[in-house]
């Protein structure tokens, strides 16, 4: 493996590791646990203030599944259960305890902040 490729792989693994933990979404409605998966990161809902099913999923067969336990983050893709859609997301660690997630749907862009649960 070339040194630059190895360095990039190590940087990606470190970034994914720094995102590891449990994060509270805006307005405190749910918690997402993020873990490394491969050279990236994945996140699943582990708690909801008011547990719900995936009622707005585009796939009718998935609408009855509980959202707790559903993987909503996979690398640069974020599943938005309130819309039933997967969107592009850019994730940046703003501070050790705050995560900025910028999503874009067409021309609309929005940034939200998740807070690390201690």
Mean pLDDT per 10-residue interval, the chain, length 118 residues: 48 58 95 94 97 96 98 95 93 94 87 94
The H or E element containing residue 33 is strand 30-37
Tell me which CATH code domain 3-87 carries.
2.40.128.520
Task: Determine the pLDDT at residue 17.
Answer: 52
CA-based end-to-end distance of the chain = 38
pTM given for the model: 0.82
């Amino acid at each position: 493996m070339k040194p630059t490729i190895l360095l990039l792989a190590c940087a990606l693994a470190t970034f994914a590791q720094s995102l590891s933990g449990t994060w509270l979404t805006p307005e405190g409605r749910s918690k997402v646990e993020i873990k490394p998966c491969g050279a990236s990161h994945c996140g699943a809902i582990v708690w909801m203030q008011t547990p719900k099913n995936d009622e707005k999923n585009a796939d009718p067969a998935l609408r009855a599944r509980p959202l707790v336990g559903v993987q909503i983050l996979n690398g640069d893709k974020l599943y938005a259960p309130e819309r039933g859609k997967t969107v592009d997301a850019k994730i940046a660690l703003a501070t050790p305890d705050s995560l900025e997630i910028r999503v874009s749907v067409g021309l609309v862009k929005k940034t939200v902040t998740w807070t690390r649960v201690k």
